[in-house]
Chains A and B, each alone.
Chain A
Amino acid sequence: MSGRTRMGRPLALLLALTFSGFLAKPAHAQAQRAQPGDADHTLEAMRDELHRSRDRLQIPGLERPYLIEYRLLDLDMRTVSASFGALLSSTTSRNRFMSVEVRVGDYKLDSSNFVTDESFRGFIGSTGQVGIDRDYNSLRQDLWLATDQAYKEALDTLSRKRGFLRSLARPPGIDDLSQEKPVVLVTPHAEPDWTSRNWDEEAKAISAVLRFFPEVYSTRVTYHLIYATTYLMNTEGAEIRVSKSLAAIEASLETQADDGMPLHHYYATYAQRPADLPSSDVVRKEIERVGRELVALRAAPPAQDYVGPVLFEAPAAGSLLAQMLGPSLSGARPPLSMLPMFDQIMERMGGRSEWTGRLGTRVLPPSVTLVDDPTAKDFHGQPLLGSYSVDEEGVKADRVVLVENGMLHNLLMSRRPGPDFDHSNGHGRAAFLGDARPMISNLFLVSSETQKPAELRKRFFDACRAEGRQWCLVVREMDNPALAIHHQEDLSEMIGGLAAGAASGDRMPLLVYRVNATDGHEELVRGTRLIGLNLRTLRNLAGIGNDASVFSFAQSQAAGFAGTALAAFGTAQGGVPSAVVAPSLLFEEAEARGARGDPRRLPLVPPPPLN
Chain B
Amino acid sequence: MKLSLSAQRLGSGDTRAMLRGKLVVTLLVAAVLGLAAVGYSYPQQPAKSAASASPILAAMEQELNRTMPVLSKTDPPAYFVSYTVTEVQRAEVMGSNGALLTSQEARSRWLEVQVRVGSYDLDDTRKVGDRQSSFSGGPGGPVPIEDDAAVLRRTIWLETDRQYRSAAEAFIKIKTGKEVKVETAEGQAPDFSRETPHVYYGPRGSFQLDRRPWEEKVRLYTGAFRTSAAVLNSIVTFSAVAENQYQVNSEGTRLQFGELRYRLELFIQGKAPDGMDINRYYNFDWTNPSQAPDDKTVLEQVKTLTHELQALVAAPLVEPYAGPALLTGRAAAVYFHEVFGHRAEGHRQKDIAEGQTFARKVGENILPDFLSVYDDPTMKRVGSTVLLGYYPFDDEGVPAQRVELVDHGVLRNFEMSRSPLVGFPRSNGHGRRQVGFAPVSRQGNLVVESSRQVTDAQLRGKLIEEIKRQGKPFGLLIDDIAGGFTFTGRGQPQAFQVLPLVVYKVYANGRPDELVRGVDIVGTPLVSLTKILATSDTPEVFNGYCGAESGSVPVAAVSPAILISEMEVQKKETSTDKPPILPRPAHDPVTKGSHP
Q: A residues near B, CB below 8 A? A: 1-2, 4-7, 10-11, 14-15, 41, 48-49, 52-53, 56-59, 79, 81-95, 120-125, 127-133, 135-142, 144-145, 148-149, 151-152, 211, 217-218, 487, 489, 600-601, 603-605, 607-611
Smallest Cβ-Cβ distance to B8: which chain A residue: A1
Surface stretch bound by A, among B41-49, B156-164, B284-292, B419-427:
B156-164
A89 near B32: Cβ-Cβ < 8 Å: yes
Can you sample 19 A-B contacts with CB below 8 Å? A2-B547, A41-B595, A56-B582, A56-B590, A89-B31, A91-B31, A94-B104, A123-B15, A124-B17, A135-B99, A137-B594, A138-B97, A140-B594, A141-B226, A144-B582, A145-B580, A489-B162, A601-B165, A605-B70
- Interface 1/0 per residue, B552-582 and A, CB below 8 Å: 0000000000000000000001011110111
Given the complex, which residues of B lie within 8 Å of A137, measured CB to CB? 97-99, 226, 585-586, 594-595
C-alpha gap A135/B96 in the complex (Å): 12
B145 interfacial by beta-carbon distance below 8 Å? yes
B97 near A85: Cβ-Cβ < 8 Å: no
B232 interfacial by beta-carbon distance below 8 Å? yes
B499 interfacial by beta-carbon distance below 8 Å? yes
A218 near B595: Cβ-Cβ < 8 Å: no
A132 near B101: Cβ-Cβ < 8 Å: yes
Surface stretch bound by A, among B179-187, B383-391, B444-452, B482-490:
B482-490
Given the complex, which residues of A lie within 8 Å of B23, measured CB to CB? 129
A140 near B100: Cβ-Cβ < 8 Å: no
CB distance from A88 to the nearest CB of B (A): 5
B233 interfacial by beta-carbon distance below 8 Å? yes
C-alpha gap A122/B269 in the complex (Å): 13
B71 interfacial by beta-carbon distance below 8 Å? yes
Tell me the number of A-to-B contacts counted with CB atoms below 8 Å: 250
Given the complex, which residues of B lie within 8 Å of A125, measured CB to CB? 15-18, 20-21
Given contacts A86-B151, A131-B101, contact A121 B28 (CB under 8 A): no
C-alpha gap A147/B31 in the complex (Å): 31
Given contacts A2-B547, A121-B577, A140-B593, contact A607 B25 (CB under 8 A): no
The B interface is mostly helix, strand or loop, or mixed, namely: mixed
Given contacts A10-B25, A608-B62, contact A57 B576 (CB under 8 A): no
CB distance from A95 to the nearest CB of B (A): 6
Given contacts A2-B547, A86-B151, A607-B157, contact A135 B20 (CB under 8 A): no
Extra A-B contacts (18), CB below 8 Å, given A52-B591, A95-B24, A218-B158: A1-B12, A2-B547, A7-B17, A11-B24, A49-B593, A52-B593, A86-B145, A87-B145, A93-B27, A122-B575, A123-B277, A123-B575, A128-B16, A131-B97, A131-B99, A132-B103, A142-B96, A218-B155
Given contacts A87-B144, A89-B145, contact A604 B226 (CB under 8 A): no
Given the complex, which residues of B lie within 8 Å of A87, measured CB to CB? 144-146
B100 near A131: Cβ-Cβ < 8 Å: yes
Given the complex, which residues of B lie within 8 Å of A14, measured CB to CB? 24-25, 28
B364 interfacial by beta-carbon distance below 8 Å? no
Given the complex, which residues of B lie within 8 Å of A89, measured CB to CB? 31-32, 34, 106-108, 142, 145
C-alpha gap A607/B156 in the complex (Å): 10
CB distance from B534 to the nearest CB of A (A): 29
B11 near A2: Cβ-Cβ < 8 Å: yes
C-alpha gap A83/B484 in the complex (Å): 43
B457 interfacial by beta-carbon distance below 8 Å? no
A86 near B144: Cβ-Cβ < 8 Å: yes
Given contacts A1-B482, A15-B24, contact A57 B577 (CB under 8 A): no
A84 near B24: Cβ-Cβ < 8 Å: no
B271 interfacial by beta-carbon distance below 8 Å? yes
C-alpha gap A594/B165 in the complex (Å): 25
Given contacts A87-B145, A218-B158, A605-B70, contact A138 B580 (CB under 8 A): no
B265 interfacial by beta-carbon distance below 8 Å? no
CB distance from A253 to the nearest CB of B (A): 13
Given the complex, which residues of A lie within 8 Å of B145, measured CB to CB? 86-90
B251 interfacial by beta-carbon distance below 8 Å? no
B100 near A608: Cβ-Cβ < 8 Å: no
A58 near B70: Cβ-Cβ < 8 Å: no
In-complex Cβ contact of B157 among A5, A140, A608 (8 A): A608
Smallest Cβ-Cβ distance to A609: which chain B residue: B150
CB distance from B269 to the nearest CB of A (A): 8
C-alpha gap A57/B590 in the complex (Å): 13
A608 near B99: Cβ-Cβ < 8 Å: no
B305 interfacial by beta-carbon distance below 8 Å? no
Given the complex, which residues of B lie within 8 Å of A11, measured CB to CB? 21, 24
Interface residue tally on B, bucketed by range = 35 or more
A128 near B499: Cβ-Cβ < 8 Å: no
- 7 closest Cβ pairs, A-B complex: A125-B17, A131-B99, A10-B21, A7-B21, A86-B144, A138-B99, A86-B148
Given the complex, which residues of B lie within 8 Å of A132, measured CB to CB? 99-103
CB distance from B506 to the nearest CB of A (A): 26
B585 near A84: Cβ-Cβ < 8 Å: no
Given the complex, which residues of A lie within 8 Å of B161, measured CB to CB? 603-605
A124 near B157: Cβ-Cβ < 8 Å: no
CB distance from A455 to the nearest CB of B (A): 47
C-alpha gap A294/B491 in the complex (Å): 51
Given the complex, which residues of A lie within 8 Å of B106, measured CB to CB? 89, 91
Given the complex, which residues of A lie within 8 Å of B586, measured CB to CB? 137, 140-141
A121 near B581: Cβ-Cβ < 8 Å: no
C-alpha gap A82/B101 in the complex (Å): 28
Smallest Cβ-Cβ distance to B62: which chain A residue: A608
- Interface 1/0 per residue, B118-158 and A, CB below 8 Å: 00000000000000000000000111111010110111011
B577 near A152: Cβ-Cβ < 8 Å: yes
CB distance from B337 to the nearest CB of A (A): 12
A88 near B142: Cβ-Cβ < 8 Å: yes
Given the complex, which residues of A lie within 8 Å of B499, measured CB to CB? 1
Given the complex, which residues of B lie within 8 Å of A148, measured CB to CB? 580-582
B575 near A94: Cβ-Cβ < 8 Å: no
Given the complex, which residues of A lie within 8 Å of B249, measured CB to CB? none
Most buried by A among B16, B102, B151: B151
Given the complex, which residues of B lie within 8 Å of A4, measured CB to CB? 14-15, 18, 573
B67 interfacial by beta-carbon distance below 8 Å? yes
Given the complex, which residues of B lie within 8 Å of A121, measured CB to CB? 575-577
A83 near B21: Cβ-Cβ < 8 Å: no
CB distance from A392 to the nearest CB of B (A): 20
CB distance from A35 to the nearest CB of B (A): 15
B524 interfacial by beta-carbon distance below 8 Å? no
B581 near A57: Cβ-Cβ < 8 Å: yes
B203 interfacial by beta-carbon distance below 8 Å? no
Smallest Cβ-Cβ distance to A124: which chain B residue: B16
Given the complex, which residues of B lie within 8 Å of A611, measured CB to CB? 150
B157 near A605: Cβ-Cβ < 8 Å: yes
B153 near A608: Cβ-Cβ < 8 Å: yes
CB distance from B451 to the nearest CB of A (A): 32
Given the complex, which residues of B lie within 8 Å of A81, measured CB to CB? 142
CB distance from A435 to the nearest CB of B (A): 17
B591 near A48: Cβ-Cβ < 8 Å: yes
In-complex Cβ contact of A57 among B11, B232, B582, B588 (8 A): B582
B195 interfacial by beta-carbon distance below 8 Å? no
B303 interfacial by beta-carbon distance below 8 Å? no
C-alpha gap A122/B595 in the complex (Å): 29
C-alpha gap A86/B152 in the complex (Å): 9
CB distance from A525 to the nearest CB of B (A): 26
B306 interfacial by beta-carbon distance below 8 Å? no
Given the complex, which residues of B lie within 8 Å of A10, measured CB to CB? 17-18, 20-22, 24-25
Given the complex, which residues of A lie within 8 Å of B226, measured CB to CB? 137, 141
CB distance from B416 to the nearest CB of A (A): 26
CB distance from B68 to the nearest CB of A (A): 10
C-alpha gap A93/B21 in the complex (Å): 16
- Interface 1/0 per residue, B492-511 and A, CB below 8 Å: 00000001000000000000
C-alpha gap A124/B499 in the complex (Å): 21
Given the complex, which residues of A lie within 8 Å of B12, measured CB to CB? 1
CB distance from B359 to the nearest CB of A (A): 26
CB distance from B570 to the nearest CB of A (A): 15
Given contacts A2-B11, A91-B31, A91-B106, contact A129 B584 (CB under 8 A): no
